[in-house]
Every structure is written in structure tokens, then in C-alpha cells.
């Protein structure tokens, strides 16, 4: 895939610019800042989310520069000449770590870390959040629908309902990571290699003198991949009989078998059973039935439970917009600064307990049970801590500290991978098909209780004792009281 050379540097919240200008004006440009991106709640009250958007974040950071037009705009907005000179000679020099795409992720843990000059590390906040929030949202929703389909293909059909052209293209990319088999979006196929799928709309059928003429014309033009939309007028009374006649009169004489029929309205569970029987009686047991029409994970699950004879699903607006839970609440918070080689932890305090941040430069581990291969919990530690897998390790709930569990015979896998070293990309993105496969394998390491849609098990993201101690030392220092 050819990456875009479009300059998105100024796609930022304006306060990123005012702060960067202010840091320079205050002679703070040599302070090294540490930022964490994390999210606070899983969409749809699910048990986990899926990391996506890393490739676009990398593209953005690789192409970070300020044009003459950008600088002139900022001059008109009253920015200091010293700041503008800095931007003229701008060279990205941050270190960036991130959780690879396709990895299940959980609230409260860093999924992107940035270390670098505060002017730069602060400035890139908006685009990091934009890239990760959007695609992680869609990948998470897509995976819920794919899991509901229970092995049946799910195709992303949402381009016309996406919230902008970039959301259509990148949303289809994210849906593929989440497990969808293809997309209706041709541009996503061109740019990312996601298989573009689609046959006809109702207008094709309406434009011909008869439904049968429409079906025969399509079968003649596309004999090797013939899928007919059968509910323009009446699926059972005319759609299926005319499809069967087109198959008999056009496809069979050409030496082809039909690929499928699609229904886009009505009681799909009921209709699909009737359609299956009609196709089977006509000798087309291999003809697939595809269902669409404002589907989501609950409708897909219910149809299957009701015995729907559907082989695959086309899902549009409720997937591409994640309409039932349309915000992925990722945030980007300062967790430490470095001056003179010494790291000083920083914390944000709030009356809303969920908004109290976890300070310090950290590592993130996923702990796996060696017997089952299943994930036990995620563990945040200080960056200079190590987890000795040869010894038992005590986990505890960071909010209810008396809830403790000692584990042994486990593997501690670091989740964060270095993407940029001193501003240079050191990470090679896997192919999108490899990311999709990796995602499916990683989800298989989660217990069924975490995967369920309603009231999923709370997967623990725990703090090491030294990190917990440091967090509560800072809370006490900033508030004058110790909170547990």
C-alpha cells in the first residue's frame, strides 16, 4: 500500500499550539514529558476493546512538519517569532511505545506512551487520540458482531452512513481487523487490500422491465459470482422463483453455480428458512443466503437463535458508526517529567475517582496462565521493575486492596512495543491480514466470561505494589489525605 503524503500536522486542537508556544516563551522547551494514552470504559459495556489505528498514527508522526502556510497562519494568530522559528526547523524527536494493533485492551492501562520534548509530546495529542479512538471503536464493535455471527461471515457495508469519507475508509480497515471478511468500500480495498464485496441494489432490479430480466442480465454479466437481491417486490412470491429461473436458464448452461441470494428487509429469520427450503428443492443447496438491513450483534445473535438459515451478514450503519456506543473515550495525560536526568512523577487529582490518573513512567504486562494459555490479568509496573516469572506473584485489586490472589506458573508478556526512537520509526507494521489473524488469536486467550455481551467478567488491570505506593504517596501529597 502506498502511504499518504498528505500533511495533517495542523489537524490539532488549537490549545496544543497555544501551549507549545507558551512552553517556549517560558523557557520550558528542554523539559522531557511523559504522556500516557488510555481509555476509561469499554464501549457497549463490553469486557474488552481492540487496539487499532497504529498505522495511521505512524504515518502522521513520520510526516510531521510545518509548511510555510502553517507558519504564516500562526504568525497571523499572534504566536511568538521564537516559536515560529522553532517550527521552521522542526524535527520530531520523541520516543513512542504502543500496544500493537489487534490486541485486546482494557480500561486504565497505557496503550500509547510518548516521551520527548514537552513542546512535541504535547502537540501530537490530538492526532494520536483521533487515530486510536476512531479505529479502536469500530474494530471493537465489528468484533462483537463477528462473535455474534458464530462463524458466519460478516461484511462491512457502512460507507454511505459513515461520518465522513475518512471514517468510511479507515472504519472499514478497522472492521477488518475486528474480524469482518470484507467491505463494500472500494477505496479500502485499493489502499489496504480489504476485499471489496457487493452485487446490486434494488434500483438495478427496478430499472429492468421485469425482475426476471434484471436477474438474467446480472447472471449473464457476472456468471462466476452471481448473487441476486431478491426482496425488491416480494422475496417468496417472486424473488426466489425468478432467481431460480435465472439460475436454470442462464447460469447452468454457462457451466456456473449461483453464489447466493440476499435479503434486505422483512422478518429475516422466517424468510431465510423458507428461502432455504425453496433453493434446496430446486437443487441449489450450495447457494448461500446473505442478510442485511440495519443489523447489529443482538439482531444477528437473535436471528441465529431463532434458526435463521443465513450464511453471512452485511452490516452497515450500526457497525461503521458504532451507533449504540459511539464514543471511544481515550485520553492523553501527563504522567511524568524529566529534568536533569531525573524522572518526576505527575498525577491528576479529581473528585471523580475514575479521573485520578496513574503517575510514573510505566510498563504494561499481560500475565498468561501457562497451563491454559488464558490471560489472567494485566499488570502496570514502574518502568524499572521486572516481574520474575520463576516466583509466585501476588496480585491485588488497586481499589479494594484486600482482594488478593497469588499466581504461579505464568508468563509475563510486555504489551507496549517501541514504535519511534528519537523521532525515527523503528517498527514495521504487519500486513492487515496478519493483524486480523493476530487479533482473533489474542481474543482466544480471553476467558468466555470476558467475552460475553451482558455483564462480562471484570478483567483486572492491577498495579504493582511499588507503583501503587507511589500513586498513593502523590495523592496524599497533593490532597493532604490518604485515599484508598
Q: What is the pLDDT of residues 73-94, one digit of tens each?
A: 999 999 999 999 999 999 999 9
Q: Are strands 312-315 and 153-156 parallel, antiparallel or unpaired?
A: parallel
What length does the chain have?
Answer: 484
Neighbours of 433 (CB within 10 A): 14
- Per-residue model confidence (pLDDT) at position 238: 98
Domains in the chain: ranges and CATH: 14-138+326-479 (3.20.140.10), 199-309 (3.20.20.70)
The DSSP annotation for 216-239 comes to HHHHHH-GGG-EEE--SS-IIIII
323, with CB counted inside 10 A (0-12, 13-18, 19+), is middle
Q: Is the pLDDT of residue 133 over 70?
A: yes
- Per-residue model confidence (pLDDT) at position 30: 86
- Per-residue model confidence (pLDDT) at position 1: 38
Q: Is the pLDDT of residue 419 over 90?
A: yes
265, with CB counted inside 10 A (0-12, 13-18, 19+), is middle
Which regions of 40-149 does DSSP assign to beta strands (E)?
49-50, 95-98, 104-105, 112-117
Q: Is the pLDDT of residue 271 over 90?
A: yes
Q: Is the pLDDT of residue 458 over 70?
A: yes
- Per-residue model confidence (pLDDT) at position 481: 56
Per the prediction, the chain carries an average pLDDT of 95
Q: How distant, in Å, are the alpha carbons of 231, 268, 319 from that of 303? A: 18, 7, 17
Q: Mean pLDDT over residues 171-200, rounded?
A: 96
Dist CA 160 CA 164 (whole Å): 9
- Per-residue model confidence (pLDDT) at position 219: 98
- Per-residue model confidence (pLDDT) at position 351: 87
Q: Is the pLDDT of residue 6 over 80?
A: no
- Judged by DSSP in three states, 264 sits in coil
Confidence bin at 341 (pLDDT 50/70/90): confident
Dist CA 226 CA 406 (whole Å): 58
Q: Is the pLDDT of residue 340 over 90?
A: no
- Per-residue model confidence (pLDDT) at position 436: 98
Under a CB-based contact definition with an 8 Å cutoff, are residues 27 and 80 in contact?
Answer: no
Dist CA 73 CA 60 (whole Å): 20
- Per-residue model confidence (pLDDT) at position 5: 57
Least reliable range by pLDDT among 1-10, 175-184, 326-335: 1-10
Question: Among candidates 311, 233, 248, 305, which has minimal Cα distance to 276?
Answer: 311
Under a CB-based contact definition with an 8 Å cutoff, are residues 121 and 114 in contact?
Answer: yes
Q: Mean pLDDT over residues 182-204, rounded?
A: 96
Under a CB-based contact definition with an 8 Å cutoff, are residues 110 and 364 in contact?
Answer: yes
Dist CA 38 CA 128 (whole Å): 11
DSSP state of 251: I
Confidence bin at 2 (pLDDT 50/70/90): very low
Dist CA 274 CA 129 (whole Å): 47
C-alpha of 404 from chain center: 32
Q: Mean pLDDT over residues 437-464, rounded?
A: 97
Q: Mean pLDDT over residues 312-327, rounded?
A: 96
Q: How distant, in Å, are the alpha carbons of 45, 117, 176, 311 from that of 150? A: 20, 48, 16, 10
Q: Mean pLDDT over residues 253-276, rounded?
A: 97
Q: Is the pLDDT of residue 264 over 60?
A: yes
C-alpha of 273 from chain center: 34
Q: Mean pLDDT over residues 301-319, rounded?
A: 97
Give pLDDT tens digits for 212-231. 999 999 999 999 999 999 99
Dist CA 294 CA 146 (whole Å): 15
Q: How distant, in Å, are the alpha carbons of 312, 335, 407 from that of 387? A: 45, 22, 12
Confidence bin at 483 (pLDDT 50/70/90): very low
Dist CA 62 CA 335 (whole Å): 24
For CA atoms 169, 170, 175, 176, give the dihedral sign: positive
Q: Where are the alpha helices (DSSP H) in 264-368?
A: 268-281, 297-305, 317-320
- Per-residue model confidence (pLDDT) at position 191: 96
- Per-residue model confidence (pLDDT) at position 353: 87
Give residue for cell 471523580: 352
Dist CA 98 CA 110 (whole Å): 8
206 membership: H or E segment, kind and range: helix 202-207
Question: Among candidates 331, 350, 288, which has minimal Cα distance to 133?
Answer: 331
Cell of 378: 494485566
Q: How distant, in Å, are the alpha carbons of 244, 400, 402 from that of 432? A: 38, 40, 43
Confidence bin at 339 (pLDDT 50/70/90): confident
pTM over cut 0.75:
yes
Give residue for cell 446490486: 200
99 membership: H or E segment, kind and range: none
Of all residues in the chain, the percent with pLDDT exceeding 90 is 94
Amino acid at each position: 500500500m502506498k502511504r499518504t503524503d498528505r500533511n495533517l500536522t495542523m489537524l490539532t486542537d488549537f490549545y496544543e499550539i497555544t501551549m507549545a508556544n507558551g512552553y517556549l516563551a517560558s523557557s520550558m522547551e528542554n523539559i522531557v514529558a511523559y504522556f500516557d494514552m488510555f481509555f476509561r470504559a469499554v464501549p457497549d459495556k463490553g469486557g474488552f476493546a481492540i487496539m487499532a489505528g497504529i498505522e495511521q498514527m505512524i504515518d502522521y508522526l513520520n510526516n510531521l512538519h510545518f509548511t510555510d502556510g502553517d507558519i504564516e497562519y500562526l504568525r497571523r494568530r499572534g504566536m511568538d517569532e521564537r516559536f515560529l522559528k522553532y517550527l521552521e526547523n522542526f524535527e520530531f524527536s520523541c520516543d513512542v511505545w504502543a500496544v500493537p494493533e489487534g490486541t485486546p485492551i482494557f480500561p486504565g492501562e497505557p496503550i500509547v506512551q510518548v516521551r520527548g520534548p514537552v513542546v512535541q509530546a504535547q502537540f501530537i495529542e490530538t492526532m494520536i487520540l483521533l487515530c486510536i479512538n476512531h479505529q479502536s471503536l469500530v474494530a471493537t464493535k465489528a468484533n462483537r458482531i463477528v462473535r455474534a455471527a458464530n462463524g458466519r461471515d460478516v461484511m462491512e457495508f457502512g460507507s454511505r452512513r459513515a461520518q465522513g469519507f475518512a471514517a468510511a475508509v479507515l472504519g472499514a480497515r478497522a472492521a477488518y481487523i475486528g474480524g469482518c471478511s470484507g467491505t463494500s468500500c472500494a477505496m479500502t480495498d485499493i489502499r489496504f487490500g480489504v476485499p471489496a464485496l457487493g452485487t446490486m441494489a434494488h434500483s438495478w432490479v427496478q430499472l429492468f422491465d421485469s425482475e426476471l430480466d434484471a436477474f438474467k442480465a446480472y447472471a449473464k454479466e457476472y456468471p462466476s459470482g452471481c448473487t441476486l437481491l431478491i426482496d425488491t417486490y416480494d422475496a417468496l412470491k417472486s424473488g426466489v422463483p425468478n432467481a431460480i429461473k435465472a439460475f436454470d436458464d442462464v447460469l447452468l448452461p454457462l457451466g456456473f453455480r449461483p453464489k447466493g441470494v440476499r435479503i434486505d428487509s422483512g422478518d429475516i429469520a422466517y424468510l431465510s428458512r423458507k428461502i432455504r427450503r425453496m433453493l434446496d428443492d430446486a437443487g441449489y443447496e450450495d447457494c448461500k443466503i446473505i442478510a442485511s438491513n440495519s443489523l447489529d450483534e443482538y439482531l444477528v445473535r437473535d436471528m441465529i437463535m431463532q434458526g435463521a438459515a443465513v450464511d453471512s451478514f452485511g452490516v452497515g450503519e450500526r457497525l461503521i458508526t458504532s451507533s449504540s456506543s459511539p464514543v471511544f473515550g481515550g485520553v492523553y495525560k501527563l504522567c511524568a517529567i524529566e529534568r536533569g536526568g531525573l524522572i518526576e512523577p505527575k498525577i491528576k487529582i479529581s473528585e471523580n475517582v475514575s479521573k485520578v490518573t496513574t503517575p510514573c513512567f510505566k510498563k504494561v504486562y499481560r500475565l498468561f496462565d501457562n497451563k491454559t494459555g488464558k490471560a489472567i490479568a494485566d499488570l502496570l509496573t514502574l518502568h524499572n521493575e521486572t516481574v520474575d516469572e520463576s516466583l509466585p506473584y501476588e496480585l491485588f485489586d488497586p481499589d479494594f486492596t484486600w482482594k488478593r490472589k497469588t499466581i504461579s506458573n505464568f508468563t509475563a508478556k510486555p504489551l507496549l512495543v517501541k514504535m519511534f526512537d528519537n523521532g525515527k520509526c523503528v517498527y514495521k507494521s504487519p500486513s492487515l491480514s496478519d493483524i486480523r489473524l493476530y487479533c482473533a488469536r489474542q481474543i482466544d486467550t480471553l476467558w468466555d466470561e470476558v467475552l460475553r455481551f451482558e455483564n462480562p467478567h471484570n478483567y483486572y488491570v492491577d498495579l504493582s505494589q511499588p507503583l501503587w505506593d507511589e500513586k498513593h504517596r502523590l495523592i496524599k501529597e497533593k490532597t493532604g489525605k490518604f485515599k484508598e
